[in-house]
Structure 1
Amino acid sequence: MFRYIADNPRRLALKRNNPQLFRVVNSLKVGDRIFSAIGNRWLLEHPVRVQMRCYNNTTPENLRLVALQKEYFLARGREGAVIISPCISAGEREIARAALKENIPLIILLENGFPPLYKPPGQYFDACYDGRLLMLAPLGISSRVQNHTS
C-alpha cells in the first residue's frame, strides 16, 4: 500500500502526459463488434498480430508445450509482432508477463468492461503509458470488472 501511495504522483504525471492512452473508450469498433478499450488502440492496426492460446493443464507434456509456446511467441514479439490473448490460462498469463517484461506489445481480451475512472494496475500501467498495451472488452457482455492482473 505504501509503494502504491508513493507511486501515485508519478502515475498522475504519466496519465497527464498521455491522457489518450488512459481514457476508457466505450465505442471502439473492431470488425462487426463494439468494444470498451483502454490503451494504445493503434496496436489493432499493426501489420503482424499473433493470437496466443494455451490450455489449463499441468501435465508434464502440457508444461513442455507451454514452454515451447512461450519461446515461439516471445520470438515473434522480438521480431515485431503484437501478441493477442485473453490471458485466461496460467500458461497464457505466464507468456503475457514475459512479453511485458521484454517490452513486447500486447493486446489483452477481457470478458468485462471498465468503470469510468479505471486505470491499468501494476506493470500494465507502465506498458499502457509506453504504448505497448491495449485492453479490450466486448460491450454488452457484463458490467463487472474481472481481475486480470494475476
Structure 2
Amino acid sequence: MFSITINTRDRRPLLGFIRNGEFYPSKVGQAVAECWRKIPEYYPQAELIIHQVMPEHFHGLLRLNPKNPNARIVGKSPAHLGRIVGGFMIGSTHAYWNVLGIDWKAYTWSKAQRKEPFHLGVEHKESTQGPALFERGYNDVVPISDEQIDTKIRYIATNVERRQMKRDNSDFFAITRNAKSANWTVERIKQGLLADRFIGKDAASVAQAWQKIASMLNLSTEGTPNIDWLGNKSLLTATTKVSVICHRADVLLFEQQKAKTIEAAKNGAIVVSACINPKEREIVKALQAELLPVIKVADNGFDTLYKPSGKAFYTCAEGALTEITPWKHRTVSKDDEQTLSREMCLTANELVRIVAQCPDTWWK
C-alpha cells in the first residue's frame, strides 16, 4: 500500500479552488483525476483506494499486487511504483498541455530524447514542449498497519474540509517567528541542564550538553533564544496554567496525575506539556478528545508549510491548541523520528515550566 503526494510546479493552484468547504476542480484538475482513474488500464496490478485533487497538490492511495496475472511487465518484472507514478505524471502533464493548446503530439523525439520524456531543465520548470505541471519527484509512504491505512484514508478524505477550516481560522495557523520571553534565557536553559542528575554532575558535562543544544536552538544573532509559535495566542496569556511532566518516581500515581490534570483543565486551566513520554501523550490525548485547551512544546522547529496534523489540526482550528518550539527546523528521518536526546528533553521541559509557571508536582 502506498500513499502518494505530488505538488504542482511552484505549488501553483492549477488544479482548482476551494469555496465554502467544496473543491471545484479546473479542467486540468479534472484531467488529473481522470488520469489517476485510468492507471489500472495501463497497470492492472495497481488497485486504487482513494484520491483527492487539491488546488496545488494531489493525494492518492493505491495498492500494488505484482502477482496479478495481468500485471504489466517491464523488463522481467512487474512495473514498479516509480514507473506507475511517472506514467501518471506524464499523462497529467500532457492533459495540461492540451488545456494550454500545445500540440505536443506533433513534436518528433530523437532516440536520445525518448530516454528523458519531459526533457526538463535543471529546475524542472519547462520542457521543449511546454511547462511542467508537477514538481520533480513525489512523496510516498508505505502504511503498514490497518490503523495507518485508515488514518491515510481519513487524511485524504478530509483534505478539503481541513483546508477550509485552516482558511476560516487562518490566525490559528499563522506561525509567529522569533518571539521573545523574558524568562527564556540561556541561563535558564543551563539551569535545567545543571539540575539533571547525570549532566549536572560537573561543569564540563553541562558545558558539553549546552554546546550540543545550542546548535539546535533557534538563537538570535545576539545569542538569545527565540520561540516560534502558532495557535490561539490567548492560551499563552491565560492566568492559570498547569504543567504535565511525568516522572518515573510518580509512575504509581499516574492515574491521580491524569485525573487532577483533566479536572484542572475543565475548571479553566491551560495545560502545558512537551508530550515527551507515553504517559504525557496519554493525558494530552484525553484532553484533546474533549477539546480542552493545551499548549504543546514541539520537538522540532516549524518549516514554512507546517501545520498540526491529525486530531491536533482540529483542536487548533477550534482554538484549543497552541504549539510552541524553541528549535530550528531540522529534517528528521523515519528512523530518528521518535528519538530525542536527554538534553532536548530537559530543555523542552524547562520551557514547559517557564510557560506554566508552576511546579511539576502541583497535582499532588
Normalising to structure 2: TM-score of the pair? 0.37
Separation in 1, partners of 2:153, 2:269: 36
**Which of 233, 238, 244 in structure 2 is aligned with 1:52?**
244
Alignment match, 1:95: 283
Over alpha carbons, which structure has the higher Rg?
Answer: 2
Gaps of 5+ in 2: 1-151, 185-225, 339-364
2:263 equivalent in structure 1: 75
**1:37 corresponding residue in structure 2:** 229
Quote the offset at 1:110 in angstroms: 1.9
C-alpha distance in structure 2 between counterparts of 1:92 and 1:123, whole Å: 16
* Alpha-carbon separation, structure 2, partners of 1:130 and 1:85: 19
- Displacement of 1:32 after TM fit? 4.5
Which amino acid in the other structure matches residue 167 of structure 2?
R
Q: Deviations over 1:12-37 (max 9, x none)?
A: 11111011111122122233542111
SS of 1:136 mapped into structure 2: strand
Question: How many angstroms apart in 1 are the aligned matches of 2:306 and 2:245?
Answer: 26
Q: 2:166 — aligned with what?
A: 15
CA deviation string 1:41-67 (max 9, x = no partner): 22111111001110358xxx71x3111
Task: State whether structure 2 residue 312 is matched by structure 1 residue 124.
Answer: yes
- The TM-score normalised by the length of structure 1 is 0.86
Q: Distance in 2 between matches of 1:120 and 1:69?
A: 26
Query: Secondary structure of the equivalent of 2:296?
Result: strand
RMSD: 2.0
Uncovered stretches (5+) of structure 1, i.e. residues with no partner: none
2:248, 2:311 → 1: CA distance? 23
Structure 1: 4+ residue segments shifted above 4 A: 145-148
CA distance in structure 2 between the partners assigned to 1:8 and 1:87 by the alignment: 26
**Number of the residue aligned with 2:176:** 25
